[in-house]
Structure 1
Amino acid sequence: MNNTQSAGFQAGEAKGQAQEKGSQLMDQASAAAQSAKESVQEAGAQMQMKASDAAEAVKDATGMNKST
């Protein structure tokens, strides 16, 4: 293999490695985004539950929650 072929091979190899590293980074970013989405959804559900509980407490305190 001459120097030109060797340089071309090394450039191709470096390009392949860079593409693989980029793919790995994209996978990691995607996983992090999914995790963040799930965390936000969980936090939203907890906030919704707390707001509902707070509304019920206000109704109980003001006598608006009639359980007859």
Structure 2
Amino acid sequence: MSNNMKAGETYGKAEAKAENAAGAVKDTANQARDKAADAAEATEGQAQLRKEEASGILQQTGEQVANMAQGAYDGVKNTLGVGENQK
């Protein structure tokens, strides 16, 4: 075999290895990107759930405070003799 043929064969093998390596790197990058997207989606879903839970808790707390304030208001009215329970 001539040196040119050996050089060409070596070049071809090196090129094929480089293409395989590049393909493997692309596959790994795509897998990493997909995993990151899945993680981001899961995190977003959890954040939305936490936001809804917090909103519900704040609404319940607001209702409790309003009920307590109404009770205090009614108590003061009754104490002063202007409430509905006074005759």
Q: Which has the higher contact order (CA 8 A, sep 6+)?
A: 1
How far apart, in 2, do the equivalents of 1:63 and 1:36 lie?
A: 41
Q: Which runs of 5+ in 1 are unaligned?
A: none
Give 1:61's aligned residue: 75
Aligned length: 67
Task: Give the CA deviation at 1:58.
Answer: 0.2
Give 2:35's aligned residue: 21
Query: Structure 1, residues 3-38: CA drift from partner, whole Å, max 9, x if none?
Result: 111100000000000000010001011001100110
Name segments (4+ residues, structure 1) moved above 3 Å: 64-67
Find out whether 1:38 has 2:52 as its counterpart. Answer: yes
TM-score w.r.t. structure 2 length? 0.70
